[in-house]
Structure 1
């Protein structure tokens, strides 16, 4: 079976099982920050989290300049390791680039700070691209605008997932949950899960009625865009989720799920997706944050 077939096999077309996510809840408020320029992205974001007293966080990258952008794209796996897919060789964007959007999971790998970042940008030739951005990417001379979602008492750890053979972040309880701020839940959503169903379950477990979805990233099979013709999935093996916005109230999507994704060529796509038909491929690091009812 090729990589596309393995990804398809992971979508579990029937109703997802309650075991298809791993979630940890805490309390905290999002913090707008100016991420200092001139240093590596990992170093800068690790310092921002340390200043907030946490080891793990989800981050929205809102804009700025990146230089020396190191990135990869998802590719079919052509070896016999059983992996769902592989990353391409590391590429270098024609930079400096203008960052359009991005999402980051900040955590650790073997006890050292590490991150998972997907971003979209415009390069010096005016081409819009997206990809899996590696930690050694550097920030331009001026700061990046970002929103940090700190996760007190939560440790996001990167390790190889036995189901897909790919490195993924998984949240764990590492200390007391935060006691002030909004209730928030971070989950690793497993292959084949429906994002709306996952978000609804996360809210129910944390006694959250209404929640916003932000600062989330990973990969989707498809996805299916509701307002594009024809409504055909993007070419495989998967689409890299750069950003995700939505609001849920119980099991209802109060606001549609808007996404920006990059396909296997680095091309950027955006719009409203059908979450039931746009299942998780390898993983999604999904963050829900409590909102007050209107």
Structure 2
């Protein structure tokens, strides 16, 4: 793994050429609601059965209260080859039931079929705080659950091979978006997490807003309270994120995240501005809370 540093902090060199579009985002109308996931169903099949009839091509899913069993998941780890700067752990298994305390997911499509990318937090049977990346084809609903969603019909999230990172990643694709109160975005590697999300808000004229879903990874982490995570592979989950305006009238984000490091530890806090480059990607859904003209 090669490391490259600049004045802003930690940077990584990925195996492929950097993509020219570092931040991709589109606005669309927001459709909000709830779906029931029936016990015994495969996770992605249950979600798709609820969302596909609505014509949604992308959605942020609120996974709080989801109960899985069995649940299969992975955690972040170091890559054993130069093909990636970081990778996934071996698959971990829990027979269930596992009750999700916090979690969100991106819903979209991969290879023409419904797919989702979700990060969740829970407590194991012995009370240990755990977190991971759920495998949507290898998890089943343990009992009937109701989850919330906020989605778009014209902006899709499609998983495609990414030459820069050598992963298949979700990214927003515009059909005929007419603008609206839901912004769907993807941030690429080495962009600062906070500054990139503020750039998305500024691009779409968001004066007041909130993050509905934020999942991705950062190069370790630096938190406002001084906590430093030096293990490079991470997975992050947005817990709370609100946009307002700074003294100069620009977009200002107050963000709290949970981070799963390469040792499986869970950290919570506010990431420092200009100190947290994205590792592989960050997927974000933003809701506009006050009407403003699109820039």
If the TM-score is normalised by the length of the shorter chain, which range does it land in?
Answer: 0.7 to 0.9
1:198 Cα offset (Å): 2.0
Aligned counterparts of 1:193 and 1:216: Cα–Cα separation in 2: 15
- Indicate the residue corresponding to 1:236 in structure 2: 231
- Indicate the residue corresponding to 2:70 in structure 1: 68
8 A contact 2:39–2:143 mirrored in 1: yes
2:243 is aligned with 1:248: yes
Give the 3 Å change call, closer, same or farther, for CA 248–50 of structure 1 in structure 2. same
2:221 is aligned with 1:223: yes
| 1:215-244, Cα deviation, whole Å (9 max, x unpaired) | 1101112222223xxx24224222211234
| 1:66-88, Cα deviation, whole Å (9 max, x unpaired) | 1111111111112132x111111
- Indicate the residue corresponding to 2:177 in structure 1: 177
Aligned counterparts of 1:18 and 1:86: Cα–Cα separation in 2: 23
- Indicate the residue corresponding to 1:274 in structure 2: 272
Give the 3-state SS of the residue equivalent to 2:103 in structure 1. strand
What's the Cα RMSD here? 2.7
Which consecutive residues of structure 2, in runs of 5 or more, have no partner in the other structure? none
TM-score by length of 2: 0.85
Q: How does 1:88-237 map to 2 (within 5 A)?
A: 88-93=89-94, 95-135=96-136, 136-143=138-145, 145-174=146-175, 176-177=176-177, 183-227=181-225, 231-237=226-232
Aligned length: 279
Give the 3 Å change call, closer, same or farther, for CA 18–27 of structure 1 in structure 2. farther
TM-score by length of 1: 0.85
Give the 3-state SS of the residue equivalent to 1:62 in structure 2. coil
